[in-house]
Amino acid sequence: MAVTTTPTDDDAVRELEERLRGELLRPDDPGYDGARSVWNGMIDRSPALVVRSRGVSDAITAVTFAREHDLLLAVQGGGHNIAGNGVCDGGLLLDLSPMRSVRVDPERKIARVESGATLADLDHETQSFGLATPLGINSTTGVAGLTLGGGFGWLTRKYGMTVDNLRSVDIVTADGELRRASTDENADLFWGIRGGSGNFGVVTSFEFDLHEVGPDVLAGPIVYPGEDAPEVLRHVRDFNENAPDESSVWVVLRKAPPLPFLPESVHGVGVAIVVAFYAGEMDEGEEVLAPIREFGDPIADGVGPHPYAEFQQAFDPLLTEGARNYWKSHNFRELPDEAIDTAVEYAKTLPSPLSEIFFGQVGGAMARVPADATAYPHRDPEYVMNVHTRWEDPELDDRCISWAREFYDEMGQYATGDVYVNFISELEGEENLAYGENYERLVELKNKYDPENLFRMNQNVEPTA
């Protein structure tokens, strides 16, 4: 399929603009630079056209225009994709961010969410009724991208992944048709979008199951000196082996940020941060998490009752838009002492003050879903590690990226060999690691729904047609 960088027919562009309810932006238009900017400051791409969609009709129009004019098509929800797949050079950017409606049915415990909504939008509406669905840990993340890649966070061990709580979607496929996909309708497509990234179309709305959560939960960080990191990680690992599904305990290795509850003397010093979360009754959580809180001699203990929506935003200040980011990811079925020691040693040489290594505990309900039940295949890990390299000075690019790759390679001997698709920084090359044993079935779906590979600004499943 040929790819042009700009539409050659000005009349066609004017006709496109007339058909839209939303905006059409060109490079010289006000708002263009804002529309093309994404969360990762390393990404600087300039589409020929930006369609800021106001509804399903705009999405259909944009997809049809891109297909008919052989334009590279990028689709953006929250703009958080680490690889920058939500924007392209040349071609057409379909910006879904104006579509942020969230409708909650508290009686049926269902939420209908448009594709431009963020985690904060969804949490705000559902928490009005004491409800939630499993999402990620940064509230400015887009619901769409998170969901299409799988989605995990604090509620995953109790209620499964984000895709496990998806009831249906409305999706515009490459032929410009709007389809509904669920277990009862276009079931093969529904299987594929639950972990297959954006390979099969533009999802314009999602329907999620909701669960009773909050409004207050027992959660918070416990901060230890960096020299205690080996013992802290071992203790958390041993505790997590027998912890109930309601419990999620993660560990972050980084330089201490200037948080108000930390003494200034430790700002910028290496620390181990244990983040505990309990998805159940407060009194029960206090008892379950007691061994975590009683361990060692922490610098600070911030565990306590917190509004769930507030805790979902607790790490936003460390993940603001505009910094340069490069990530690598591993899955682990266990954390042997050697893996812990390797991570601790690399944490001593973090290439920038903003970089971190985190081990997110998963398992629980996520692990009880068969690997072939959804396109997301990695159901048996106990931990997902993110090598989150983050910096501001472009002159540090080579240093930070080299450090991340070296650490990733060292940890590979302890890992499963799989990766979480939403944590892949590279534009291509790790698809088989991300989609695992489900890759060939995804290729079959790609051949059926997108044989020309219109939707290829993603961790791409290439069609064989």
Tell me the per-residue pLDDT of 318-374, one tens digit each, with 9 for 90 and over: 999 999 999 999 999 999 999 999 999 999 999 999 999 999 999 999 999 999 999
Domains of the chain (ranges; CATH) run 10-95 (3.30.43.10), 102-212+436-449 (3.30.465.10), 216-423 (3.40.462.20)
pLDDT at residue number 2: 43
Query: Helix 229-241 crosses helix 282-293 at what angle (to 10 degrees)?
Result: 140
What counts of helices (H) and strands (E) characterise the chain? 14, 19
Q: What angle do CA 88, 450, 100 make, to 5 degrees?
A: 55
The model's pLDDT over 223-259, given as tens digits with 9 standing for 90+, comes to 999 999 999 999 999 999 999 999 999 999 999 998 8
The alpha-carbon radius of gyration of the chain (Å, integer) is: 22
Percent of the chain with pLDDT over 70: 97
Whole-prediction pTM = 0.95
The strands making up 73-76's β-sheet, listed across from edge to edge, are: 23-25, 49-52, 92-95, 73-76
Calpha distance 72→91 (Å, rounded): 4
Q: What share of the chain is helix, strand, coil (3-state, %, to 5)?
A: 35, 25, 45
Would you call 113 helix, strand, or coil by DSSP?
Answer: strand
- Asked whether the predicted pLDDT for residue 428 surpasses 60, the reply is no
Calpha distance 215→177 (Å, rounded): 40
What region does 237 belong to: left with phi over 0, alpha with psi -120 to 50, or beta? alpha
